[in-house]
Structure 1
Amino acid sequence: MIVVIGSINLDLIASVDRLPAPGETVPGSAFVTAGGGKGANQALAAARAGAEVCMIGAVGNDSFAGDAMRLLREAGVDLSRIRESDRPTGTALILVDERGENIITVVPGANATVSADDLSPADLPLKQGDLVLLQHEIPLPTVEASLRAARHAGAISVLNTAPFRAEAASFLTRADYVVANETEFDLYSDALELAGGNRAARMRDYVRRFQSNVIVTLGGEGLLCATPHQFFECPALEIEPVDTVGAGDTFCGYLAQSLSAGESLETALTRASTAAALACLSRGAQPSIPHARDVLFAYNRQVRA
């Protein structure tokens, strides 16, 4: 079982030729809505990868809630522990340019109400061998409490450090796996006073000091992974991106499913990286998350290449 504790949003997505400068208005060419939120995106990715997934979070009592959870429900994610809040469903306002680059504003809404009270044994039925997947779009005390609960239950914890929040450095090292992009890791390196003249050296210092695993994603350049026993690189699948929104969440969901299924870390990372690349080939976070059969086809082609 994969338990995702995180945010649930409705994304409002506009396509533009180029992203506006401060104070500038640019015309849009298209507009769509889609389910989003880093927690929900990762839950959907894990489910499409083939995992049994339970989602813990909150939505509002409004018209956005149903749309925000529609694809999760269709994918068979267990939504029985989603709580209704008196705050509105979380919303993300997204502009995507013709190169696939984006700018995003997130209004947390109900996501800000997810608390340690939602982690009671009745709401968080963890057992040894389960996997807990977390991000930073819910209150950080809840993230920290979730890491403690996972450790207590003997579950594996995977923490995606997006979006960057400096105060998370105090509990980052409690996660079994940390997934950060290059900017996030560099900022946490400063906060944790990691030693080394380059990123790889700082990653090695991290795992030496904290005896956990750290994965740093590099976009089109692939990723770096450091564990207490090995260090390796994983190249990215070469693509022409249409929209990069949701690629990181796709990576995390597929990584969680592969780890939960007992695959080797290198295999899990290659498969997750392949899935993330495929997610960049269409617009929207959740609609673009690939299904397992498409990832398997692309993964096999990549491995044979």
Structure 2
Amino acid sequence: MITVVGSINLDLIATVNRLPGPGETVPGSEFKSAPGGKGANQALAAARAGAQVRMVGAVGKDAFAGEAIAYLRDGGVDLSGVAEMHAATGIALILVGADGENMIAVVPGANGTVVPGDLAKAQFRKGDVVLLQHEIPLSTVDAALDTARQAGAVTLLNTAPFRAEAAGFVGKANYVIANETEFDLYAEALGLPAGERQERMRAFARRTGATVIVTLGGDGVLATTGDDLVHVDALNIKPVDTVGAGDTFCGYLAAGLAAKLDLKEALRRAAAAGSLACLKPGAQPSIPLAAEVDDAIKD
């Protein structure tokens, strides 16, 4: 079982020719809405990878809630741990440029009501995989890491979005997943020795005992347990929309580890899935099925 404790949003997405600068208004060419939130995205990715998944989180009692969990319900994710709160369903406002790059503003809403007491719904057990991110209160993330460890579960923490106050507990996770920018920021916050990123990754892994995984966009993924470095290439693609690529990677990685794949193979499948997610617009609509990943890896 994979349990995802995290955010559930509805994404409001506008496509523009280029991303605006500060104070600038640019014309848009398209608008749509789609389910999102890093927690929900990762839960759906793990389910599409073939894993059994439980979601723990919260939505509002509003018109956005049904749409926000629609893909999760259709994907067979267990939603018994999702509460309905009087706060509004979380919203992400997303601008996507013609080159596929994006800018995102998140209004947490009900996600901010997910508290440590809700972890009883998670029912962590020995051998489970627990996947976490930073779009719910950090006290809940910290408590989930402790509770999961006590239960004998394996923990994956996606350290996004960057929040400096999380530096004190990120090392509790068995697997720490960050993009290049996030890792560099956490390295500074943790006072890791100056040097090349690879050496700082090794230093973090040796200090905490965690496996450190840094996603490199089109350059693939780099991971270390403190000794050897493992590099996995991304697929050679022309991105349409990078929204959700990192979440797809995390969900597929969790599914691979839950299926007892070795680290390099789990990273290879996750990197391929993240690449495929860049070929379609939106976060959850773009997450590939396991069969699509299999075909891409064969090619």
The alpha-carbon deviation at position 242 of structure 1 amounts to: 0.3
1:292 aligns with 2:267: no
Instruction: Select between 285-294 and 207-216 the one with higher mean Cα deviation.
Output: 207-216
Q: How does 1:9-158 map to 2 (within 5 A)?
A: 9-120=9-120, 123-158=121-156
Describe the superposition over 1:159-216 as per-residue Cα deviations: whole angstroms up to 9, x where unpaired. 0000000000000110000000011111111111212510000111111111110001
| Contact residue 11 and residue 93 of structure 1 kept, 8 A | yes
- Aligned length in residues: 299
1:261 aligns with 2:259: yes
Name the SS for the 2:204 alignment partner.
helix
The alpha-carbon deviation at position 275 of structure 1 amounts to: 0.2
Q: Distance in 1 between matches of 2:189 and 2:18?
A: 34
Name the SS for the 1:106 alignment partner.
strand
Describe the superposition over 1:52-83 as per-residue Cα deviations: whole angstroms up to 9, x where unpaired. 00000000000100000000000000001100
The alpha-carbon deviation at position 126 of structure 1 amounts to: 1.3
Name the SS for the 1:62 alignment partner.
coil
Q: Distance in 1 between matches of 2:196 and 2:222?
A: 12
The alpha-carbon deviation at position 230 of structure 1 amounts to: 2.5
Q: Which amino acid aligns with 1:192?
A: L
Q: Which amino acid aligns with 1:83?
A: A
1:235 aligns with 2:200: no
Aligned residue for 1:170? 168
The alpha-carbon deviation at position 22 of structure 1 amounts to: 2.0
Q: How does 1:150-229 map to 2 (within 5 A)?
A: 150-229=148-227
TM-score if structure 1 supplies the norm length? 0.97
1:270 aligns with 2:268: yes
Name the SS for the 1:164 alignment partner.
coil
The alpha-carbon deviation at position 86 of structure 1 amounts to: 1.0
| Contact residue 202 and residue 227 of structure 2 kept, 8 A | no
| Contact residue 7 and residue 38 of structure 1 kept, 8 A | yes
The alpha-carbon deviation at position 125 of structure 1 amounts to: 1.1
Name the SS for the 1:63 alignment partner.
coil
Structure 2 unmatched ranges of 5 or more: none
State the superposition RMSD in angstroms: 0.8
| Contact residue 203 and residue 226 of structure 2 kept, 8 A | no
The alpha-carbon deviation at position 91 of structure 1 amounts to: 0.2
| Contact residue 204 and residue 226 of structure 2 kept, 8 A | no
Q: Distance in 1 between matches of 2:122 and 2:105?
A: 30
The alpha-carbon deviation at position 31 of structure 1 amounts to: 0.9
| Contact residue 6 and residue 138 of structure 1 kept, 8 A | yes
Name the SS for the 1:11 alignment partner.
strand
Q: Distance in 2 between matches of 1:229 and 1:27?
A: 50
Aligned residue for 1:6? 6
Q: Distance in 1 between matches of 2:196 and 2:226?
A: 18
Aligned sequence identity (%): 63
Name the SS for the 2:93 alignment partner.
strand
Q: Distance in 2 between matches of 1:76 and 1:49?
A: 12
| Contact residue 196 and residue 205 of structure 1 kept, 8 A | no
Q: Distance in 2 between matches of 1:241 and 1:213?
A: 28
| Contact residue 215 and residue 222 of structure 2 kept, 8 A | yes
